[in-house]
Amino acid sequence: MEINLFNDANLVPQPKHRVKIEELSAKPYKDRFRVKVNLKLTPFQERPNLLITARRFDGLMVSDLDVIATMHFDNEFTMHIRGLDDPTGDYKLAAELYYESRDPPQDAAEICFRIPPEAS
């Protein structure tokens, strides 16, 4: 008799060489100084590390987040925009997934997002 512990074949934990960043998204909060980040990974057997950075389009880093040995494959974070009086503008959000070394990372993803001007 076969016992299936996973209802969805896509949720079967994978060995680390098969783990990737599946989805990455960013949505600014209404206060414009915080960004909701969703990051989905391939379900894993061994816990990976993550480095997530947000940079203005001119390259200025405004937020970063290190996650060591994440326990979840479906992650949600709030990143805070730092060092700016007005966060209006275009940004790049980059995520790296790695195990022993980030040089090079096992997988990486990058998206762009915009923080709109303050509503009048």
The CATH number of residue 55's host domain is 2.60.40.10
Count of domains observed in the chain: 1
- Residue 69 near residue 49 (C-beta atoms within 8 A): yes
Give pLDDT, residue 80. Answer: 98
**What pLDDT band is residue 98 in, cutting at 50, 70 and 90?**
very high
- Residue 79 near residue 37 (C-beta atoms within 8 A): yes
Write down the pTM of the prediction: 0.89
- Whether residue 25 lies inside any domain: the answer is yes
Residue numbers of the domain that contains 96: 12-115
Cβ neighbours around 3 below 10 Å, total: 4
- Residue 35 near residue 90 (C-beta atoms within 8 A): no
- Whether residue 91 lies inside any domain: the answer is yes
Residue 53 has pLDDT above 60, yes or no: yes
- Whether residue 2 lies inside any domain: the answer is no
